[in-house]
Amino acid sequence: MQLEYGLYQQQTQKLIMTPELRQAITILQFSAIELNEYLQTEIVENPVFEIDAKEQARYDFLYNNYQRSRVVNYNQEDEWSIWDTIASPKATLEEFLLEQIRFLSLEKQQNDVVKFLAGSLDESGYLSIPLAEVVKHFGISEQEAADSLEILQTLDPVGVGAQNLQENLLIQLQRLEHVDPHAIEVVNNYLKDLAEHRFMKIAQEMKITVQEVQQIFDFIKTLNPKPAMGYPNAPAKYILPDVTIELLEGEIVVIVNDALVPRLKINSHYHQYVQNHKKDDKTTQYILEKFNAAKWLIKSIDQRRNTLYKVTSAIVQHQINFFATNQLKPLTLRTIADEIGVHESTVSRAVNQKYVQTPLGIFELKYFFTTGLATSDGSTTSAENVKKALVDLINEENKKKPLSDEKITKILNQRGIEISRRTIAKYREELGILSSSGRKRYD
């Protein structure tokens, strides 16, 4: 084989990712909230845009006042409003603790230490730093640091400031009256065994019945493993649906929520300026550049709207029975992409972080895509349907003799669903359901 150097011409096709195309792709994957934030920046940076003052005031109010995220299910008989998704502001855990600390009679240094500890909690309400760091930071003794932590642990919510789950549970037990001493002993010495449902071992070593261990387990489950639950660590955004699906006169209608996106207009003054001035003028070139950018942005927003409408409409056609039976059919991104004539990645971007308001509540668009499992009659059923069947079987089982994964597999196979024991175990773990040994009760 002989290698030679030389110059040759070759014609190839290559997709160039222009800034405009990149912007269109970015806009497509934006949620309603993100798109509004992006447009607010574009409006400020591009002088050719104009927006109605009343509409601007409405958006300023909307985006400056949201506090936390909440998926809302509403009664389909009631009229739904965008404002229904807004939750009332709520104090963070740190703010709630600082408010309580204000009423404590503490010396300045200890007050500062307790405040510092209140600001050093993780999202579960546990102390996220070692006490040695507090000692070093304030130049105090270990005992002084421990005393300050003990003060924090007397505040609400009960268990806050604990250094681990065991300490959290013990703090809660100490606050309660008439607590079974065996419960305290179990938390002190057998917490891991309890979590792994080794009830027989605990009963034998403590010389109590397995039924008593079951009762202790049920009681400890009523305690709060995360004291910070319900307290936002920081203000979070609420969810606004990008699309609404309504049932009108027996027909399902898809509506893209254009009201969530500011209606952009190009100031006619700049359009006239470009037409009446020389193109080689620097000011004219600048305005022309902004003018073209504005037209492309408006075009990208329209394209996003059309793509979102086509994708959602196609999803509705495939999942039409969901709105009557709450049962999903197997559906893939490729199926929708082929149907509306776009690339699979376009569908992926269109459904990413998008929510749809339906008569059954708000769902992520991605929720309607699910893998399929074969059935004995040659058809398929979705993984979501299998998971629902799995939950129903476990809810109805005899808790003293819970169903094993193998038994559940046999039952579903008898119903015509071809599924393996390994897949059942996988779905069970995804649903946070314990194994049969973990679900067994000793009442």
The whole-number pLDDT of residue 55 equals 62
- 26 and 115 part of one domain: no
Angle at 52 between CA 51 and CA 58, to 5 degrees: 100
Contact 51, 294 (CB under 8 A): no
- 210 and 298 part of one domain: no
The whole-number pLDDT of residue 54 equals 64
Whether residue 210 is contained in a domain is answered as yes
Whether residue 231 is contained in a domain is answered as no
Contact 43, 51 (CB under 8 A): yes
- 97 and 217 part of one domain: yes
Q: Of 311, 345, 368, which residue constitutes the final position of a domain? A: 368
Q: Which of 369, 292, 384 is nearest to 337 (CA)?
A: 369
- 342 and 312 part of one domain: yes
The whole-number pLDDT of residue 137 equals 93
User: Which tokens sit at 189?
Assistant: 């010495």
Residues of the chain where predicted confidence (pLDDT) is lower than 50: 66-89, 234-235
Contact 48, 261 (CB under 8 A): no
Q: Of 368, 401, 430, which residue constitutes the final position of a domain? A: 368
> Beta strands 49-50 and 265-266: pairing type?
antiparallel
**Count H helices, E strands: the chain?**
21, 8
Place of tokens 């070139």: 285
The whole-number pLDDT of residue 166 equals 96
Amino acid at 404: S
Supply φ then ψ for residue 244, to 5 degrees.
-120, 135
The whole-number pLDDT of residue 58 equals 58
Whether residue 81 is contained in a domain is answered as no
Whether residue 102 is contained in a domain is answered as yes
Whether residue 302 is contained in a domain is answered as yes
Contact 121, 127 (CB under 8 A): yes
- 210 and 273 part of one domain: no
Whether residue 82 is contained in a domain is answered as no
List, for residues 102-121, the tens digit of each pLDDT value.
Answer: 999 999 999 999 999 999 99
Whether residue 377 is contained in a domain is answered as yes
Whether residue 71 is contained in a domain is answered as no
Domain that includes residue 200, residue range: 93-221
The DSSP element (H or E) to which 289 belongs, if any, is helix 282-318
The CB-side HSE value for 257 (13 A sphere, CA atoms) comes to 21
Domain count, the chain: 3
Strand partners, 356: 243, 363
Cis geometry, peptide bond prior to residue 241 (ω within 30 degrees of 0): no
Q: Of 368, 399, 418, which residue constitutes the final position of a domain? A: 368
- 380 and 359 part of one domain: no
- 288 and 205 part of one domain: no
